[in-house]
Amino acid sequence: MSQNFNKIFENNKLWIEKKLGEDADFFKKLASGQAPDYLYIGCSDSRVTAEELMGVGPGEIFVHRNIANLVNTLDMSSTAVIQYAVQHLKVKHIIVCGHYGCGGVKAAMTPQDYGLMNPWLRNIRDVYRLHQTELDAITDEHKRYNRLIELNVQEQCINVVKMAVVQERYILEQYPIVHGWVFDLETGKIIDLNIDFEKILKDIQKVYDLTNSDWVMSRKNNINLKD
């Protein structure tokens, strides 16, 4: 066990040498700040790492991960990440990425008491309840499981769009755009669920419109006058 742990530090040294060999100023640039275009909200599963599957390097993605890639508005961790990414980093895209074979979604489909995990899993069970007719019509259990993974991503995208900071920034800047993806562990492919962000925003604003503030409306009017 200690050998495996110490291997991490050996790998770190090799990584430093590799980066400095490619660019002598790599760490100076890395320490100077971050300006990522992407916020990635994914699952904590150890097999699904954002940078690796997207083929990008340090500083290019702002990342938040939790069990089953949930965006629960009562969870200060995810909401704080979104607030910071949109308001301060001014990311252009927010990606919610689930993955087939997700243990969190599988647990939520199982009628079992998971103790302290129950409140978290309830968010996924709520997704099942919202789409129960469609899901119950799928007789193949594996296909039903995969479909719930996709629908969970969709609902978490909607939860992102519900947030005032996202709505306000989009009205003022026409970004961020919210995307829903699923990563297929068996093929390595990213599957774009083609979430219709603008339609979702338009539909939910009938109930969740949080942009009618003096600050937002005055900024919007100023932008329209310039145009």
> Using alpha carbons only, how large is the chain's radius of gyration in Å?
20
Q: Could you tell me which of 124, 176, 175 has the C-alpha nearest to residue 150?
A: 124
| Amino acid in position 31 | A
Which amino acid, 15? W
Domain harbouring 174, CATH code: 3.40.1050.10
Q: Are 15 and 39 members of one domain?
A: no
Q: 149 and 185 share a domain?
A: yes
Residue in 23, 25, 37, 47 annotated catalytic: 47
Q: What is the pLDDT of residue 218?
A: 52
Catalytic residue among 23, 25, 37, 43: 43
Predicted local confidence at residue 62, as pLDDT = 97
**18 and 39 co-located in one domain:** no
Q: Annotated binding residue at 99?
A: yes
Q: Is 157 annotated as a binding residue?
A: no
* 67, 9: one domain: no
Split into its structural domains, the chain has a count of 2
Is 70 in the same domain as 136? yes
49 and 100 fall within a common domain: yes
45 is catalytic: yes
Residue stretches of the chain with pLDDT short of 50:
215, 217, 223, 225
Q: Quote the CA–CA distance of 95 and 157 in Å, as a whole number.
A: 8
- Answer yes or no: do 89 and 168 share one domain: yes
- Residues 49 and 24 grouped into a single domain: no
The values of phi and psi at residue 211, to 5°, are -105, 0
pLDDT tens, 100-141?
Answer: 999 999 999 998 999 999 999 999 999 999 999 999 999 999
- 43 known ligand binder: yes
132 and 186 part of one domain = yes
59: which DSSP letter? Answer: T
* Domain limits for position 8: 1-29
Backbone dihedral region of 55: left (phi > 0), alpha (psi from -120 to 50 degrees) or beta?
A: left
**Same structural domain, 86 and 40:** yes
Which of 64, 97, 102, 157 is catalytic? The answer is: 102
Exposed, middle or buried: residue 28 (CB in 10 Å: 0-12, 13-18, 19+)?
Answer: exposed
The C-alpha atoms of residue 123 and residue 64 are separated, in whole angstroms, by 18
pTM: 0.89
Specify the amino acid at residue 183.
F
Residues 6+ positions from 73 with CB-CB distance below 8 Å? 79, 159, 162, 163
Q: Residues 212, 127: one domain?
A: yes
Q: Give the span between the Cα atoms of 143 and 212, in whole angstroms.
A: 42
Catalytic annotation, pick one of 99, 157, 169, 179: 99
Report the alpha-carbon distance of residue 189 to residue 81 in Å, rounded: 26
69 and 116 in a common domain: yes
